[in-house]
Every structure is written in structure tokens, then in C-alpha cells.
Structure 1
Amino acid sequence: MMAVPEQTPPSSLEVGDYYDRLTDLMNRALGGNTHLGYWPQPGDGSSPGKAADRLTDLLIGKLRGITGRRVLDVGCGSGKPAVRLALSAPVDVVGVTVSEVQVGLATALAKQSHVADRVVFTRADAMELPFPDGSFDAAWALECLLHMPSPAQVIREIARVLRPGGRLAVTDVALRAFGRTGMKRGECTSQLLAVPALVHIDEYAGMIADAGLELHELTDIGDQVVGPSFAALRDHVNEHLDEYAAAFGIGVAEMRKVVAQCTTLPWTPDIGYVVLTARRPGE
């Protein structure tokens, strides 16, 4: 991510356009996923796709044993995590994304995987979820809050649509509370990547409490996610510079500079990866 001057947060239309342009490339880089990978044993030789599936499985484990079966997938990407969840448990999943391309890909994947009767996808803004109060038994947000103008508002919206006793699981790129370089929240923005600002890990507990939820777990697994994932993405971009440059709407030379900047910034150790679970009180 690149530090840039303060800017207007991307609108949902702009984030949707970003993923309309980048999803195919990201899927190819990450085995059909649009989120990073998890390497609990660094250097184990896992492909980025296998590591991304492993991260999905980590989150599936956080929802295991939920009461009820209706799950909301906020920022569903191309649908692979939702389909993987449905294949592992008797749940119904509703996935939302601001990308029309992703809705189409996710719907096709659900049909191909024979779970279209239990897994559906729709275009919707997580800042204003189009669902009634208390209409889901569980929800997850897999690496999407970093694109939101107000992650706190998204968490409040998720809390609203959870029934009493409903469970929430979240993963996201975040700033470490005690970073090595003292980097501040607003200093990690990227217009190119549609990221208004990363949240400090120590902000999550307050956002969860303000939404009326009970925090159960808050963990940073950044060392097992960020470095190896960024390296894998860097390699994929370098192998497909022309395609990435076209998707970003810049020249190849400029794309090469972006890759170099993103992989040599001194504050990279300040970037972590949060995993949290919470519950709406009641029942």
C-alpha cells in the first residue's frame, strides 16, 4: 500500500469498479479467491490458492456450531468462501458485494458446485445492508473492511441484522497497535487500491462494543499472512505486468514502479492481519 495525501474515501461504485477490473487477475493469483493466504508454517510450500483456502477454513471454524443456519457473507468476492462454507455445513449463505462482476462469478460458482439452492449473491453496499433486523444467525466479513469509508458503520450494520445470540467473524488487513515505525492510521491509504485507511488493531474492540456486540477473540496473525501473501502477489503482478497495468489504467513502467514501492516500504512490519469473533448478546 502506498502512503498518499489525505483523500476522499472511495465510494461503493468506485470500489465496485476496482473489483470489476481486478477480480479475474486476483482469482488467478489466489486460486479463485480475492483474499490473502494463511501460512501457519512459513515456507511450507503451499500455493497462494491453498493458503487462501486455509484462511477461509480458519474462518469457517470460527462459525462452527452456530445455532441456526442463515449466514451473511459481507464482501463475498467471487463466492469461493461462501461455497466452501456451504459445502462444509448445512447452512444457507447470502453473499453481498458491490461488484457486478463478482455477483456473476459467484452465482456461476454456486451453480457449478450444486449449492445454488442454499447460496445466493446480490449487489449491496455493506454500509447500508438491505436486510431486516435480526435476519441472520451468523455473519462474516472476510477482508473487506479495509475498503469501507467507515468500518465502524459496517460493523453496526452487521450487528443490526444479526439475531440475538448471532455470531460474527472478521478477518482484515490492519495496522498493528504497537508498530515498529509508529505509523498512524491515515498514513496507510491507497487511491489505486481503493483503501481509504487501515484500522489499528486496538480500534476493533471499541467498534465491536459500540455496535452492541460482545468481543470473544482478537488475534493478529499478520506474520503468517501479510509477508508471504504480498510476496506471492508481487510475483504474480511481475509475471502479468501488461494485464495489471491495463486493469489499473496505468502504463507498464508505472505499474513496475508501483510494485517496487509496495514491496520496499520500510513500514511493512507495521501491517498485521486481524482475526476476531464476536456475538450479539441474547438467547
Structure 2
Amino acid sequence: MTTASQNITPDHVADYYDRLTDVFGEAADGNLHFGYWPHPHDGSPLGAAADRLTDHLIGKLGDVAGRRVLDVGCGSGKPAVRLALSARAEVVGVTVSPVQVERATALAEREDVADRVRFVCADAMTLPFPDASFDAVWALECMFHMPSPAQVLGEISRVLRPGGRLAVMDVVQREPVTTLDRDAVERGHSMFAVPAHIELAEYPRLILGAGLRLEEMADLGDEIIRPSTEALGRAAAANPAAFAAAFGVDTERFETLMAEWVRITAALHLGYVVLTAKRPA
């Protein structure tokens, strides 16, 4: 694993999303994750592409109608609500951000699924659920915020019933970083509350170490990372004051930080893993 900022804690992540949930949600039609452009020039806005990514993950879960699903790092709640509406599943979402719990709960109520979709404030490294209490689990673009991904996967394995499926989407590092300015990387990761990016080749070992069996794994980074980064850049450029305020800096400083992070992101050789695994029966 690439060590970038060992000082990022769940409290830092909670504060980050308390500040950023609304501004990111406005940019992506209520979503807080990247978009998916399997056809790069189809002209889809970020919100539509983010919904497409959610639907791709829903497909990876398989048939969960009437089943209980855990959404680790539930964000704004839109993916969980979308899952409940499309698959008729019961969903429990967890996040360390009280603001996200509030926003997600309100969304479930507006979409009339609050009877089977609920959200709780909890740390994924110590999930507050009994063993084998979920039929399926997904983690949509949240593992890179975890100080200990191995511990999170261990907790997921614990609460997943035997034979249950895990689906993960995560920003990963395609190859080790050897030449980057370490101070710049530290500043970038601190800005976005990222302790480290898991190296793509390390994921199978982490899955196995959690007692899970890897079913499939693919890197969709070319269809996700660059177009999403560009779309978020356009959103920030269109509303710099709101983004700067959310990040706690003035507009000029925010523009400098974003330009620096774009350079670092390109040099990090980021990918985007999509994988499924099962807990052996």
C-alpha cells in the first residue's frame, strides 16, 4: 500500500464530508462518487454518469430482492435509495458524517423508502452489527478514506452471512509511486481526507486476508478517473466561491490547490477497481 498521510482519522473524514457533501452533491445531481463513461464521448453530465456507475454496481450484487444489504460509506444516500427502488432490497447505510446521515435520511423519506432504508453514523472499522447479519455488502468509492482497509474488509466479512456477496468500487493506484514530491502528495491527500490509495495488485491479498473469495476484478479507470476529474473541475470552475468555502480556503488558494492536485493525480497513475467477492459458505 502507498502510505500518504498517516494522520487522517475517521474524524477527519467526517469533517471533510460534513463540509463537502452539499457542494459535491450539487455538482453530481445528488451523488458523491465519480461517473462512468463506457462510451467516452456520449456527452453525459456527471450526475447521469454517476447514476450509471451506481447501476453498474447494483448489477454486481446480483439478485438482492427482499434481502438485507449494507452500504459501507453511504454518502448522500442516493445509491442506497436507488438500490432499494430498483432491487426492492432493505438497505442500511453507514457513514462517519452526521451531515450525510441527515441528508440521506431525508432523501429516503422523500422517495418513500424510509420503511426499508435507514442510515446510521458509524465507523466502518468497527461496524455496530452482529455477525452474519447482512445478505450482501457494497462499498462504493469509500475504501480509500479508510485508515485500515484490511480492518474494514475484516468487519465486512464478519457481518456478511456465509455465501453472501461483497461488491467494491474504489480508486486505486495502478503502480507504486517512486518519484513524486512527497510533500505535495501529503498536501493533496490531506485536502481530500485520503490516508492512502490501495495498490491495484494488493486488492486480491486484502480480500483473501479478510476470509473472502475473490470472484472477479477489473480496472475501469480509463472510463472513470479522467472524465470524472474533468467534470468536477468544470463544476468547481463554475462555482469557485462555494467550493473554496467548503474547503476552508479563499478562492485563489483553492484554485492553486486544485491545479496542484490535478498534476499529482495524473502522476499517481490512478485506476478504478470494480470487484466482487463472496464469503465462503
TM-score by structure 1 length? 0.93
The question of whether the paired residues in 2 share the 8 Å contact of 1:183 and 1:267 is answered with no
Q: What amino acid sits opposite 1:80 in the alignment?
A: K
Measure, in 2, the Cα distance between the counterparts of 1:253 and 1:97.
31
Alignment-derived partner of residue 96 in structure 2 = 98
Secondary structure, counterpart of 1:191 in structure 2: helix
Q: CA deviation at 1:227?
A: 0.3
- Extract unaligned runs of 5+ from structure 2: none
Matched residues, percent identical? 55
Would you say 1:274 and 2:268 are equivalent positions?
Answer: no
Q: Which amino acid in structure 2 is aligned with residue 166 of structure 1?
A: G
Give the C-alpha shift of residue 188 in structure 1: 5.1
Change (3 A) 1:156 1:183: farther
Measure the CA separation in 2 of the matches of 1:242 and 1:7: 27
Alignment check: 8 A CA contact 1:36 1:229 kept? yes
Write the distance in 2 (CA, Å) between the matches of 1:220 and 1:236. Answer: 26
Residue number in structure 1 paired with 2:263:
264
1:154 corresponds to 2:145: no
**Conserved 8 A contact 2:66-2:88:** no
Aligned-partner residue type, residue 34 of structure 1: L
Letter in 2 for 1:86: A
- For residues 56-205 of structure 1, the aligned pairs below 5 Å read 56-66=54-64, 69-177=67-175, 189=186, 190-205=189-204
Counterpart amino acid of 2:114? A
* Higher helix proportion (structure 1 or 2): 2
| Matches of 1:214 and 1:68, distance apart in 2 | 24
Matched residue pairs, number? 276
Mean Cα displacement is larger for which, 109-118 or 5-14?
Answer: 5-14
Q: CA deviation at 1:120?
A: 0.4
1:202-217 correspondence runs (5 A): 202-217=201-216
- Offset, 1:67: 8.1
Counterpart code for 1:117: D
Question: How far apart in 1 are the matches of 2:195 and 2:78?
Answer: 26
- Helix, strand or coil for the counterpart of 1:197? coil
How far has the Cα of 1:37 moved from its partner? 0.3
Question: 1:194 & 1:162 partners in 2: Cα distance?
Answer: 27
1:36-47 → structure 2 map (5 Å cutoff): 36-47=34-45
After the TM superposition, which of the residue ranges 262-271 and 110-119 deviates more from structure 2?
262-271
1:159-191 deviation digits (Å, cap 9, x = unpaired): 0000000100000100014x7x7569x895510
Task: For structure 1, list consecutive stretches of 5 or more residues without a partner in the other structure.
Answer: none
State the AA in 2 paired with 1:191. S
User: Over the residues paired in the alignment, what is the CA RMSD in angstroms?
Assistant: 2.0
| Distance change (3 Å), C-alpha of 1:253 and 1:203 | same
Q: 1:219 maps to what in 2?
A: 218
Question: For the Cα contact (< 8 Å) 2:64–2:88, is it kept in 1?
Answer: no
Relative to 1, partners in 2 of residues 1:161 and 1:192: Cα closer, same or farther, differing over 3 Å? same
Distance 1:244 1:30 in 2: 13
Cα pair 2:4 2:185 within 8 Å, conserved? no
Equivalent-residue separation in structure 1 for 2:228 and 2:163 (angstroms): 34
- The Cα offsets for residues 41-70 of structure 1, whole Å up to 9 and x where unpaired, read as 001100100000000000000112248600
Look up the equivalent residue of 1:196 and give its one-letter code.
Answer: P
The change in CA–CA distance for 1:183 and 1:267 in structure 2 (over 3 A counts) is farther
CA contact (8 A) 1:188 1:197 kept: no
Deviation, 1:31, is 1.1
Code of the aligned partner of 2:59: G
After TM superposition, give the deviation of residue 264 of structure 1 in Å: 3.0
Deviations 1:166-225 (A, max 9, x none): 100000100014x7x7569x8955101100110101111000000100000110000000
Q: Secondary structure at the match of 1:130?
A: coil
